[in-house]
Structure 1
């Protein structure tokens, strides 16, 4: 019998008891990192706006300044994507340690940097690429809608493409949801192997995970109404629940594999244990 989402949440609450200080501190660190990137973006955008405004006056210096600022934005976009790709495994590692009664700490955030960082970056880029592919139909229809001045037909089609974009994003995130956990547990595995194993793990579990996602919508809305302060406690709860979900389906698949072993495999295992 599959574990209910209510039971997984109950386990998550029990795991987080006495550890919310660590989790909230972690979220504060991540918020500070995000704030730095946002400030850089605003500053660069401000300088680009000033440079573009000065283009009407003329001057090669204004053109050069605008180009330099745009290059800086592209550079920091790459840095931000790399930071997200390397910090995400550290977050999951922290909650993995919490759920498995290990010794979680702030140092877990650096797990992606210290352990095969290129693999975690590759896994993150796969997610980004899939998201871009899902967005292509919407972007194409959006451009055509702008050109045609948003005719009624194009407006309806634009809404349909947006729904398709959301559906593609949710479905792909569900299929790839366990890949980072898999790579965290065994960094010697390949990126594509972790993706394949994640897809395999989600067979028969997609609806469960989608229901868990939906169950947090109310909390997410409350988090926005609290000026995002509530997310310091909501996000740890979500991360812990999703980690419990991974451990649960992993345990189920392990038990299924064990029960399906042929009789001679049992004899071989007993022989090895006796040896």
Structure 2
């Protein structure tokens, strides 16, 4: 069985592959953020603050967050090209519009809907604690926040490979891609979690240095996560498990 690479090895690969591509990759990240921000600003309903308007805007935000999955798919395609030493271009982020956008939206919907559902209890309790503050409600709020975080992290780690798999297995359904990601991540969730946590010091540094280094850090981080996928898919390929759960 193929030996999996350590976090430091994955980061070294990401650094090497990104070395002369930072301009393209940073601009692609900025473009994705700008598109999401502009679309949100254009479709958000303005008017007197009331509960109905709040619900409408929350629904709009939810829909936009799901549709952003098309750009997330394009971002995965861009970084897969990077890691596999293919030509990269900012326009790669729009590849998701060509490569089964319906599947990208379905995959993204899982993350967005789970995040929305687990946030509901905490939001309700937070509202109640503002109108009727008590130590009991604050304690319950803390519990629901922690539970929501645990569920979100578990789902994010378990299905983290689905967007990458979409480009390696475009003929498979979103359900199959999510199932394969779940199978691939068995025994590797904590490895990926550790990889995420290892970037926290760099992110803190980026924040305290006026955020500008975060442009570089975001590229470095996502390239490393793509290297994680590359490493994992090679392991499964060599073990004869590439089609596990997809047939």
Task: Tell me if the contact between 2:62 and 2:112 (Cα under 8 Å) persists in the aligned partners.
Answer: no
Task: Tell me if the contact between 2:13 and 2:227 (Cα under 8 Å) persists in the aligned partners.
Answer: yes
Whether 1:105 aligns to 2:89 is yes
Which of 108, 120, 124 aligns to 2:108? It is 124
Task: Tell me if the contact between 2:162 and 2:181 (Cα under 8 Å) persists in the aligned partners.
Answer: yes
CA distance in structure 1 between the partners assigned to 2:122 and 2:60 by the alignment:
26
Unaligned runs of 5+ in 2: 242-247
Task: Tell me if the contact between 1:37 and 1:76 (Cα under 8 Å) persists in the aligned partners.
Answer: no
CA distance in structure 2 between the partners assigned to 1:238 and 1:133 by the alignment:
28
Deviation (angstroms), 1:154 = 1.4
* CA displacement 1:199-228 (0-9 Å, x = unmatched): 100011111100001001112222233433
Deviation (angstroms), 1:38 = 5.4
Task: Tell me if the contact between 1:20 and 1:233 (Cα under 8 Å) persists in the aligned partners.
Answer: yes
Task: Tell me if the contact between 2:157 and 2:189 (Cα under 8 Å) persists in the aligned partners.
Answer: yes
TM-score by length of 2: 0.86
Deviation (angstroms), 1:244 = 0.3
Task: Tell me if the contact between 1:182 and 1:194 (Cα under 8 Å) persists in the aligned partners.
Answer: yes
Q: SS state of the match for residue 104, structure 2?
A: helix
Match in the other structure for 1:220: 203
CA distance in structure 1 between the partners assigned to 2:179 and 2:6 by the alignment:
25
Q: SS state of the match for residue 18, structure 1?
A: coil
Aligned-residue RMSD, C-alpha:
2.6
Whether 1:17 aligns to 2:19 is yes
TM-score by length of 1: 0.78
Which of 244, 252, 257 aligns to 2:240? It is 257
Which of 113, 129, 134 aligns to 1:151? It is 134
Task: Tell me if the contact between 1:219 and 1:234 (Cα under 8 Å) persists in the aligned partners.
Answer: yes
Unaligned runs of 5+ in 1: 54-65, 259-275
Q: SS state of the match for residue 211, structure 2?
A: coil
